[in-house]
Chain A
Amino acid sequence: AQSVSQHNHHVILSEAASLELGCNYSYGGTVNLFWYVQYPGQHLQLLLKYFSGDPLVKGIKGFEAEFIKSKFSFNLRKPSVQWSDTAEYFCAVSALGNNNDMRFGAGTRLTVKP
């Protein structure tokens, strides 16, 4: 079964700083990749997803992620963060042939200082 690693548990940035959150997965087959965000007190929301095609995926709120198959990575980026981006971010992977099992990383807590 696939597994997902998020390298940073807690990231603290100042407003306008650039963001990159790492995500690596272990599965050799075809995958779908996701980033979810959980704002304080709110439900998990989909930020962006990759199914196929252009490996650079653009999501909501200025976020993007790049799928690098050779590195089994799907890092999340944003050029300039805002205080309102303070949240927990989860990377997730679902694999063809393992239909019901979407695996999540442990999450990265992002704190943006105003």
Chain B
Amino acid sequence: ETGVTQTPRHLVMGMTNKKSLKCEQHLGHNAMYWYKQSAKKPLELMFVYNFKEQTENNSVPSRFSPECPNSSHLFLHLHTLQPEDSALYLCASSQDGGWTDRDFGPGTRLTVL
């Protein structure tokens, strides 16, 4: 069982819907991340939070909105998504916001109709 949990595991939504992805880490880490995993493409870093402060936003469209209320929880709010946003969204955490390894959650498989 992973120390990083994500809910829901699967999500189907229309382009006009609003939904949120949730991530929780039980490892006492200080940094949390959102990644997008698409088929045959490298993992794309979307957002980084270090000690609850957003330190990275990799030119992600505003239809994706992150929220980090504390160092254990991370949300990704979704609204007016496009079909090309369909992907596996991975949450990860690390001890610090630096260059050490990440612990990944199982991901949320998102399908946008």
On A, residues with C-beta under 8 Å from B are: 4, 9, 32, 34, 36, 42-46, 49, 90, 94-96, 98-107
Contact = CB atoms under 8 A, between A and B. Distances in A.
Contact of B106 (A42, A96, A99, A103): A42
Interface of B: 2, 4, 31, 40-43, 45, 48, 50, 55-56, 90, 92, 97-107
B32 to A, nearest CB: 11
Contacts of A36: 104
B45 A102 contact: yes
Most chain B C-beta atoms within 10 Å of own C-beta, residue among A9, A90, A94, A95:
A94
A49 B2 CA distance: 19
B90 A99 contact: no
Q: Main SS of chain B's interface residues?
A: loop
5 contacts: A9-B40, A44-B92, A94-B99, A100-B48, A106-B41
Contacts of A107: 40, 42
B36 to A, nearest CB: 11
A56 to B, nearest CB: 18
Given A100-B45, A100-B56, 4 more contacts: A32-B100, A44-B104, A90-B43, A99-B99
A103 B45 CA distance: 8
B99 A32 contact: yes
Given A42-B106, A44-B90, A104 B101 contact: no
